[in-house]
Chains A and B, each alone.
Chain A
Amino acid sequence: MQDFLINQWNNFTNSFYRNFIEDSRWTYLTSGLINTLLITLGALVVGVVLGFAIAMIRTTHDRTGKLGFLNAIAKLYLTVIRGTPVVVQLMIIYFGIFASVQINAVLVAIIAFGLNSAAYVAEIFRSGIMSIDPGQMEAGRSLGLNYSQTTWKIIMPQALKNVLPALGNEMITLLKETSVAGYIGLRDLTKGGDLIRSRTFAAFMPLLAVAAVYLILVLGLQYLVGKMERRLGKSDRR
């Protein structure tokens, strides 16, 4: 029994050494992690900014009847982006649109994942804005604020609070979706684990390490979102 355990332990340490220490293979994971974080953060910014703009166009159209042309474009955008897989969009943008241009693959990934995330963020924001009682807009307007002042000071703070859980969800999804970035020859975290596997022919340990890193990142995100929720939720206490 003791021999068995010692044997197992030795196997583990040998495998660990071969997969991560030998030839500094751990750097596949760290450099991949940096790319994954860059893509996620960049795409998050693109997604939130563009998604917010789309949500404003859609709700302004629904509430006032203006911006008909922009609203039609926004609806088409949502249909196309949400109707096709992100990995296909990524490849279309890299191998199609930017085929003849020298461009950093990370930048392409940021654009592709950002454009994709924007469609989902737009609907999240829209549901948040629509969830606010129309009486709030009327109260703001009746006091003399204009449409955009009321939107910024009264509607958005409440809408943001309502959509925070869904927005956190989208951030987590985005982080994990970037794992297909390897399709355009980009060395992200997942690809890093894959490269180790191709050197050592061990599948289990590198993939387990990759999974653990994603999990830790998601836990960090969850913590941040939870903290923000508590901060914005202080007006709910009775």
Chain B
Amino acid sequence: MIAVKNLCKSFGTLDVLKDITTEIKKGEKVVIVGPSGSGKSTFLRCLNLLETPTSGEIWFEGEQINSPKCNIDLLRRKMGMVFQHFNLFPHLTILRNITLVPTTLKLQTPVEAEQKAMALLKRIGLADKANTYPAMLSGGQKQRIAIVRALAMNPDVMLFDEPTSALDPEMVGEVLQLMKELADDGMTMVCVTHEMGFAKEVANRVLFMDDGKIMEDSPNPAEFFANPQNPRAKEFLSKVL
């Protein structure tokens, strides 16, 4: 589904990603772990071109997204993204946050969009918040809204950039629960996270990144967390687990 070939990214003289090649298949739940500054978030943000790669290729559903010919706006509709700081639109109601993009792009009629949004809100138990503004919600509620806002576009893959890092500890569970349900529904997911428990439980593949490279690529998360092969991964896990 997503193929990355020799991806490099530098900010000025700082090389953040160094020659990354990997592939993410449909239905995979990939968790990316690693120390801060290792390039995890930059890698994720390259996948939907929020960061422009310095060199290398990124392919999504048979199209090279970092070529000038590609209309990235069309491809981003198929790639949902969830941010650390939610990034809800504070001037719009919860309902409008979800329906704004599908109706602006004329992908759904206003009535369809509203019905779909209400169904999604009901599913996460926040239907009663439809006409309130983001400022009135807790962090956990905001992040769950952000997730269903992305789902309203019917994406083929969801990218999560540390979705629980800005939450109070007691809010983390509700967000992870929703992500777990998504995974159970078969959604393809790529998730940068520090939640090792979630990684163990939900992921079916773990990428360990350090110093701008993928140091370990494990198809067996339980095995990875119990017995990492890479020495840097060993050191990292001994600190966080």
Contact = CB atoms under 8 A, between A and B. Distances in A.
A236 B134 CA distance: 9
Nearest to A139: B87
Interface stretch (A19-27, A80-88, A150-158, A209-217): A150-158
A238 B136 contact: yes
A144 interface: yes
B12 to A, nearest CB: 14
A1 interface: no
B150 interface: yes
B153 interface: yes
B85 A135 contact: yes
Contacts of B79: 142
Contacts of B146: 139
A30 interface: no
Contacts of B91: 157-158, 161, 232, 235
Interface residues of B, number: 30
Contacts of A143: 76-77, 80-81, 101, 149-150, 153
Given A143-B150, A146-B73, A235-B135, A158 B90 contact: yes
A: contact size bracket: 20 to 34
Contact of B104 (A139, A149, A238): A149
A136 interface: yes
A62 interface: no
A158 B74 CA distance: 25
B89 A139 contact: yes
A135 B73 contact: no
Contacts of B119: none
B83 interface: yes
A133 B80 CA distance: 20
B104 A145 contact: yes
B48 A142 contact: yes
Interface in A1-41: none
Contact of A235 (B85, B90, B153): B90
A141 interface: yes
B90 A145 contact: no
Nearest to A145: B101
B49 to A, nearest CB: 9
B14 interface: no
Given A136-B87, A139-B87, A144 B74 contact: yes
Contact of B73 (A145, A158, A236, A238): A145
A144 B135 contact: no
B241 interface: no
Interface of A: 133, 135-136, 138-146, 149, 153-154, 157-158, 161, 232, 234-238
9 closest cross-chain pairs (CB), A and B: A139-B87, A144-B77, A142-B81, A135-B87, A235-B133, A143-B101, A144-B76, A146-B73, A157-B91
